[in-house]
Structure 1
């Protein structure tokens, strides 16, 4: 093989080696940092706009939710009647409340003889358990009411929600602080992730 025919192949081989040269440390570091930034941005976006973990504090949602239960909060979708929702306390915006939506705009609500009535229809609340309470305690802490007696209106106003805790004898809810703005709801939850022995969908 002549020298003149060998040189082009050598040059081609040398160029290929140059193109396949490893990245410098600085390039590798920059690439890693960009990867971390992208992943972090995706995580923050999901947590901010779609889903987030939330922890239960207190007993106001017993027996459905117990103290220190951990849930996944869904921040998208419409709020429906009987959804469990999280929202800022009307009295302290730094405190988050978790309650059940009982009344939507236009609903007429009445509670009589430990029975809930929505728009004149009796509602069976399987999520409420007063079996451990005396009749006197249930009557005192979970007494009869209507929207008229609480708020002076016949139905839930537009853009508002009426919420109650499942633990009716130990819950600060719309019976105390009135309606909440539907726009103030952070999200709804129906999935418990902790403790593991109670993992699954929430009623």
Structure 2
């Protein structure tokens, strides 16, 4: 009887040990997946400042797709996060693609001489009808370049009167792009796909 009880205890301990090892393996796999997903596929950012208002508010949290541009190229009006310098990342909207001639005249965006609608600015421009929301400029006036260079982008913040963007810092290299801002998830009541 005593021997049977000891054998049962030994078996129970073996089962508990196997269960613990199984859980530990599962946790390690989950942690590796989380690190891989966060490091290579998606990450989150907290937006500081008002340069993308009203599309994105100060302190909104957004999810950044880090793999999208490994497969395809940025598109006009994508919102991207990029390294502005060694310590700071910015979020801005792609306005000019490589080879584009960009110009603003009378609050209208012209790409390669054709007026382009910016639907995300409608709410803003209604408020600022008395004064231009985006002051007139050409790429050449701002950068000395007539066209957006190869493997570079021209970006602007949606809040044109309060944004440090390509008008001040110049073109953005494809190498400096972190990823595309896809979703705003915080505050939770403002959860939405970004456009």
Separation (CA, whole Å) in 2 of partners of 1:175 and 1:72: 26
Q: Aligned partners of 1:54, 1:158: CA distance in 2, in Å? A: 28
Match of 1:108 in 2: 101
Note the alpha carbon deviations across 1:15-45, whole angstroms, 9 max, x for none: xx99xx4526555444333222111000110
Query: After superposition, where does 1:44-59 map in structure 2 within 5 Å?
Result: 44-59=35-50
The 10-residue stretch of structure 1 (157-166 or 73-82) with the greater mean CA deviation from structure 2: 73-82
Q: Name the structure 2 match of 1:98.
A: 91
User: If each structure's helix is expressed as a fraction of its own residues, which one has the higher value?
Assistant: 2
Matched, 1:198 2:190: yes
Length, aligned pairs only: 182
**So what's the TM-score if we normalise by structure 2?**
0.84
Unaligned 5+ segments in structure 1 are 1-16
String of CA shifts for 1:39-65, please: whole Å, max 9, x gaps.
100011011111112221110001111
The residue number in structure 2 matching 1:131 is 126
Deviation at 1:66, TM superposition (A): 0.8
Question: Separation in 2 of the partners of 1:175 and 1:25?
Answer: 64
Q: Structure 1-normalised TM-score? A: 0.81
Q: Look at both structures and tell me which one has the larger radius of gyration over its CA atoms.
A: 1
Tell me how far apart the structure 1 counterparts of residues 59 and 168 of structure 2 sit (CA, whole Å).
24
- The correspondence of residues 109-188 of structure 1 with structure 2, limited to 5 A, is 109-128=102-121, 129-133=124-128, 135-136=130-131, 138=132, 142-188=134-180
